[in-house]
Amino acid sequence: MHVFLPDGKQLDLPQGATALDAAQAIGPRLAQDALAATVGGVLTDLQTPLPEGAEISLITKKNPGQAQSVFRHSLGHAMSQAVGEYYERKGYPREAVKRGVGPSIENGFYQDFDLPEPLGEEELPEIEKIMREIIGRGLPITRSEVSKAEALEQFGFDPYKVELISALPGDEPITFYTQGEYVDLCRGPHFPNTGKLPTAFKLTSTSGAYWRGNEKNPILQRVYGVAFASQKELDEYLERLEEAKRRDHRKLGRELELFTIDPLVGKGLPLWLPNGTVLREELAAFLKEQQFQRGYQGVITPNIGNLELYKTSGHYQNYSDSNFSPITVDDEQYMLKPMNCPHHVRIYDSKPRSYRDLPVRLAEFGTVYRYEQSGELNGLTRVRGFTQDDAHIFCRPDQLKKEFLDVLDLTVLVLRTFGMNDVRFRVGTRDPANEKYVGDAANWQLAEDGIIQAVEEVGLPYSIEPGDAAFYGPKLDFVVRDVLGREWQLGTIQVDYNLPERFDISYVGEDGQDHRPVMIHRAPFGSLERFVGILIEHYAGDFPLWLAPRQVAIVPIADRHNAYAEELRAELHKAGLRAEVDDTSNRMQAKVRNAELSKIPVILVVGDKEQEAREVSTRERWPDGHRERKGVGFDELKAELLERYKNRS
């Protein structure tokens, strides 16, 4: 058989040869240093047979970072082996530890276990110690193919492996990977030897996980780890992890009294506290101003709708796993609203429309409900009830490009206003092989071409993700990288020829005939809940003045200054600024410290000198640290703060 190297050189190898055979054919030093390979651009291990004519590239210990997913997977096996040995040392038989799945993931790996007794997080350092022992043993990691019968016999004691093996097609090769006495059912790929695995890893946490993600199945214990090619990379990651904990929106949400989730109200149903409500309303006001300038009309729709509405739109069928169960009222079935768009279609169709009326831009901060499994709920970023900054534009085909570009401009403006400048643009297109997509293929092509042409016209770099479209149309997603380097999908714009068809809506054209409008779905924030959760972490709760729920804290030095402080507060309040006076018995330094801990951006200190001259001393938070000013005229400061608030600077 023939394979080809990156420089185009051809290697002649025996049939069934592996990447390791290719390395040995080139030279013994390369075979010794090789860790993994790419075959046709896909990562694989050194033991998997190569196909005829493959283009291969070998990865060595000089560049182990190129094989991160491979060594992370192998470290997951080392962790799984270590857990087994840990329980054997505690006196349990080997068969007492049963295992679910254990893939590599971004930055690391995890493994699901059914353990004879729970593993505490305080025990993870001991598991790490055994993992390092396993690496030190230099165990060869070997691949073998077995029959289904052999696989079932090997894992007859483990119901999870038996279930996985039984579900495999009869003609699919079943592969085992073995290191020492540890054997696992696995597709691979893996490093060739435990001694070649990097030691820059750490086990970070454990959690419960339903077997195969189904709430009806047993809960297994999931152990997470992170791993990198070098200790420097690991240390940097752990520092970011600590920073992420400091910024955690659930923690800051409690401390800053922004929101709460009450089990008596329900999982995934956040309650907005007064401070959080201010933040949310500032966001809504900002977007409503932009929408007003761009010709949007506000609408309001109910939180439930007739089931037939969602059957007509297709949301009932296509989001069956995410919808709440229908309820019966007066012999009709209703459902909690999963999407706003069908309601907006009916508003559009509530009266005849002429080509002169288009575009019609309907906007709503509409609350929708999705059933998320309880294990997936996460503060504000994954909830069951959330409010979308939703709008739907009904336009003529000749207006589509201009309307799309305007929405694109609006969404970029929104993200830049919040300092979210690291954005990538992702075009989600239809996968013709997937049956979930509805509508005419020609219309799909028109919609996809329209999005790509608009993005290219403004010179935005983009990637295409086949199969990532909504069931009714392609979309442009805005993927934002935050200050911690994490990516979030926020705004989205979707082009839809299909819902107008499904609801049979139209407008009268210049020719007096009925024509079908095109719909644009757009949500720059995505959802207020998720956006606020991300925003809290992006700013670490240190919101700019215009967004801060508590904008100004006035600190009187002594009780005799309280009246002056209250006078200033009233003037700021009358001007529209959110100000409060700390008239507690604490010392001035403690009051300032409390205001800083509450992340109030502007602190005004007033004493005898300030009161006599109608002045204040200020301590303000800026991106580069705190700034202090003495003897600032109050009227001058009020005007300055109002200007910053008005300009959302």
Q: Is the peptide bond before 189 cis (omega within 30 degrees of 0)?
A: yes
Check 315, 344, 361, 521 and give the catalytic one: 521
Please report the beta strands in 422-544, taking only residues with DSSP state E, as ranges in sequence order: 423-429, 462-466, 475-481, 487-496, 507-508, 514-515, 518-523
Check 341, 477, 522, 530 and give the catalytic one: 341
DSSP 467-478: T-SBTTB-EEEE
Quick check: helix, strand or coil at residue 34?
A: strand
User: Is 392 annotated in the active site?
Assistant: yes
User: Is 521 annotated in the active site?
Assistant: yes
Check 249, 475, 538, 561 and give the catalytic one: 475
Distance separating alpha carbons of residues 272 and 383, to the nearest angstrom: 13
DSSP 276-328: HHHHHHHHHHHHHHHHHHTT-EE----SEEEHHHHHHHTHHHHTTTTSPPPEE
Check 370, 384, 591, 599 and give the catalytic one: 370
Positive/negative CA dihedral, 237, 241, 244, 250: positive
Q: Answer whether 606's CB lies under 8 Å from 555's CB.
A: yes
User: Is 341 annotated in the active site?
Assistant: yes
Q: How far is CA 164 from CA 98, 174, 212, 385, in A?
A: 13, 11, 10, 35
Check 143, 392, 561, 591 and give the catalytic one: 392
How far is CA 370 from its chain centroid? 17
Distance separating alpha carbons of residues 59 and 82, to the nearest angstrom: 27
Distance separating alpha carbons of residues 394 and 403, to the nearest angstrom: 10
User: Is 475 annotated in the active site?
Assistant: yes
Q: How far is CA 153 from CA 93, 114, 145, 162, 423, in A?
A: 18, 19, 14, 9, 51
* Count of Cβ atoms closer than 10 Å to residue 117 Cβ: 9
Beta-bridge mates of residue 362 = 297, 392
In the numeric block, the tokens 């508003």 are attached to: 347
How far is CA 286 from its chain centroid? 24
Distance separating alpha carbons of residues 554 and 167, to the nearest angstrom: 67
Check 81, 154, 388, 551 and give the catalytic one: 388
Locate 577 and state its tokens: 């600024």
Locate 508 and state its tokens: 């009268």
Distance separating alpha carbons of residues 579 and 545, to the nearest angstrom: 11
How far is CA 292 from its chain centroid? 30
How far is CA 116 from its chain centroid? 34
Which H/E stretch holds residue 556?
A: strand 552-556
Check 112, 389, 390, 482 and give the catalytic one: 390
The three-point CA angle 490-492-496 to 5° equals 160
The separation between the first and the last C-alpha atoms of the chain, rounded to the nearest angstrom, is 66
- Name the phi and psi angles at 453, rounded to 5: -60, -40
User: Is 370 annotated in the active site?
Assistant: yes
Distance separating alpha carbons of residues 81 and 208, to the nearest angstrom: 20
Catalytic residues: 341, 370, 388, 390, 392, 475, 521
